Amino acid sequence: MPKITFTEPGGGRRDIDAPLGITLMEAARQHGIQGVVAQCGGACVCSTCHVYIHPSWLAKLEPREEMEEGTLENAWEPRDNSRLSCQIPVTAELDGLEVAVPQRQREE
């Protein structure tokens, strides 16, 4: 199972085993990673599973689709390495992936 390292909003690091075939968001949620709120549960409509991907890993991910672009636009502090974790399937290639959770998710 790929190991993924999350840096939580408080700065704590957690390594989790993410099963293949689920999404990065689902893996984070199942393990209760702090700050991955995932309110809509993966429908790509809420932006509360927003994460920052470690730049060295960006090229290994499929690029964002239009829906994700639109939803990310109003995320809290989006950056070039921002992704919605619900749109990233866990694959064997992601073993060792490093992800940081933003200080907060969007609040209007």
Partner 1 sequence: MISTILIIGGGQAGAQAIDTLRREGFGGRLVLIGDEPELPYQRPPLSKKYLSGEMPADRLVFRHRSFYDEHRIELKLGRQAVRLDAAARQVELADGEKLTYDRLLLCLGAESRRLTCPGAALPGVHYLRALADVAPIQAGFKPQARVVIIGGGYIGLETAATCRKMGCEVTVLEMADRVMNRVVAPSVSQYFAGEHRAHGVTIICDTRVVCLEGRERVEHVVCADGTRHAADLVIVGVGAVATAELARAAGLACDNGIVVDEYCRTSDAAIYAAGDCTNHPSLRFGRRVRLESVDNAFEQAKTAALNLLDKPVAHDRVPWFWSDQFDSKLLIVGLSQDHDRQVLRGDPASRSFSVCYLKGRELLAVEAVNHSKDYMAARKLIAERALMHLDKLADGELALKEAV
Question: Which residues contribute to the site for partner 1 (CB under 8 A)?
Answer: 22, 26, 29-32, 34, 39-47, 67, 70-71, 73-74, 108
Q: What's the min distance (Å) between Cβ of 55 and partner 1?
A: 25
Supply the minimum distance, in Å, between the C-beta of residue 51 and partner 1: 18
Beta bridge partners of 52: 82, 100
Residue with tokens 């293949």: 20
DSSP structural state of residue 51: E
Residue closer to partner 1, measured from CB, 59 or 108: 108
- The nearer residue to partner 1, 56 or 62, going by C-beta atoms, is 62
How far apart CA 62 and CA 17 sit, in angstroms, is: 21
